[in-house]
Structures are given as structure tokens and as C-alpha cells.
Amino acid sequence: MNIEHIPGITKFGYPQGREGRSGLRPTALVIHVMEGTIRGTTSWFMNPRANVSYNYGVGKDGRIVCWVRDENAAWANGKIQKPTWKGLLKRPNGYINPNLHTISIAREGRNSELCTPRQYQSLLHIARLMIDKYRLPINRNTVIGHYEIDSRKPLCPGRINLDHFVIELRKNGQKKEEGGELLGLSDVL
Ligand SMILES: [Zn+2]
């Protein structure tokens, strides 16, 4: 499946525009909802006043775009408010910025909408790619919603059942391993 890279997003890294993740590796995927379209989100990201970006976006038609490469931190979950996620990393005065060790993936649409079937499949696809690339276990501690970092965003990512998504991710992985496509055995161990 093709991933289209959208260039020109400046809001990545800490400080701004810095490559990499300050030496950290991704430990989790954070699912968001755009509250709009890929097109609208892209033009918002291009606005210098918008202090926000995602690594990936998944359209209703199933297309996958990349705004910030996953080697770099996006600006998506910087605010930590009454978090319920147990995977936040502590530092002396609080938490390490979770953007540095998470990959943000946003679904196109509104929080009240379900994913389209194509969109859901693409979401599984990009999540699976990241899980394989960073050797993440598949569970609700490694696949989370934005609201689990910021409880003042209770509607992000909205109507997607993440427990079910994790179950589907596992199935998806099994199928792939059975079929032997993409990964050799040494890659999955
Ligand atoms: Zn969000």
C-alpha cells in the first residue's frame, strides 16, 4: 500500500524542526481523529500559528499520508492532562514529552463518525507497519487514544473501539505471518 509523503510541515521535533526523537524510540501508537479532511488538516499544518502535526493520516478512501516521518517526533500529544496511560515516561519534574516516544496516526473525519471499511483496513495497515518496524507488542498500552494522554480531549479519536482494533491488529499479524508475506521469520522474532 502506497504511503504518500506530504512535504513542508515544519512542526516536528523538539525544538521545532529538529530531526529524530532525542534518542528515544517509539513505544506506542496514539490514534487521533482529524475533525476534518486530509486536505484541511494539511493546510492547517502549513499555518505557522498551528502548533500541531501528526506523523500519519488515513483518509476515508483508505489513502495513507505521512506529514512527519516516524523517525521524527510530531506535535500531537504534548499536553498531558490527567493521563490514564501507564506508558508515559517520567522525568524529575513530570513526564518526558510523549511526542518523543509515540507515533501519531489520525483518522480523517469527525469524532462522531465511524471509520469507513477501507479506512479501517488502512489504519490497521499503517499501525501494523509501525508495530513491525519498532517491534512493539500489540496491546492497549502500545495502541492508545489521544484521550488517554489528555483527558480534556475525550472525543479524540472518537468512535473507534480501540480494544477491538487491537484484536484486529493481532489477527492481521497472524494472517501475515501465516501467509509469509513481507516479513521473514527473523524479522518477527
Ligand atoms: Zn488528538
- Provide the residue type at 101 as one letter: H
Total number of domains constituting the chain: 1
Query: Whose grid coordinates read 506530504?
Result: 6
Q: Is the pLDDT score of 68 beyond 50?
A: yes
Query: How far is the centre of ligand 1, averaged over its atoms, from the C-alpha of 180 (Å)?
Result: 34
Query: How far is the centre of ligand 1, averaged over its atoms, from the C-alpha of 19 (Å)?
Result: 22
In this predicted structure, which of 77-81, 97-101, 183-187 has the lowest mean pLDDT?
A: 183-187
State the DSSP H helix or E strand holding residue 131, giving kind and residue range, or none if neither: helix 117-133
CA-nearest of 85, 74, 56, 98 to 151 is: 85
Query: How far is the centre of ligand 1, averaged over its atoms, from the C-alpha of 115 (Å)?
Result: 15
What does the alpha-carbon distance between residue 142 and residue 157 come to, in Å, rounded to a whole number? 15
pLDDT tens profile 106-161:
999 999 999 999 999 999 999 999 999 999 999 999 999 999 999 999 999 999 99
Give me the residues paired with residue 144 across strands.
30
Query: How far is the centre of ligand 1, averaged over its atoms, from the C-alpha of 101 (Å)?
Result: 16
Q: Is the pLDDT score of 14 beyond 90?
A: no
pLDDT tens profile 119-129:
999 999 999 99
* Crossing angle (nearest 10°) for helices 117-133 and 162-179: 70
Q: How many CB atoms lie within 10 A of CB 8?
A: 8
- Provide the residue type at 32 as one letter: H
We report the CATH number of the domain holding residue 150 as 3.40.80.10
Boundaries of domain holding 11 = 3-188
State the DSSP H helix or E strand holding residue 91, giving kind and residue range, or none if neither: strand 90-91
What does the alpha-carbon distance between residue 1 and residue 138 come to, in Å, rounded to a whole number? 21
Query: How far is the centre of ligand 1, averaged over its atoms, from the C-alpha of 181 (Å)?
Result: 32
Average pLDDT score, the chain? 91
Query: How far is the centre of ligand 1, averaged over its atoms, from the C-alpha of 171 (Å)?
Result: 26
pTM of the model: 0.90
Question: Which backbone phi and psi does 94 adopt, to 5 degrees?
Answer: 145, -125
pLDDT tens profile 171-181:
955 555 444 44
Joined together, the cell numbers standing for residue 20 give: 529524530
Q: Is the pLDDT score of 187 beyond 50?
A: no
Query: How far is the centre of ligand 1, averaged over its atoms, from the C-alpha of 76 (Å)?
Result: 7
Collapsing DSSP to helix, strand or coil, 133 comes out as: helix
Residue 114 is predicted with a pLDDT of 98
Could you tell me which residues come within 8 angstroms of residue 38 by beta carbon, excluding any fewer than 6 positions away?
Answer: 57, 59, 63, 65, 108
**Is the model more confident about 11 or about 28?**
28
What does the alpha-carbon distance between residue 100 and residue 80 come to, in Å, rounded to a whole number? 13
Query: How far is the centre of ligand 1, averaged over its atoms, from the C-alpha of 34 (Å)?
Result: 7
Residue 10 is predicted with a pLDDT of 84
CA-nearest of 28, 7, 108, 29 to 63 is: 108
The answer to whether the peptide bond before residue 157 is cis (omega within 30 degrees of 0) is yes
Give me the residues paired with residue 33 across strands.
107
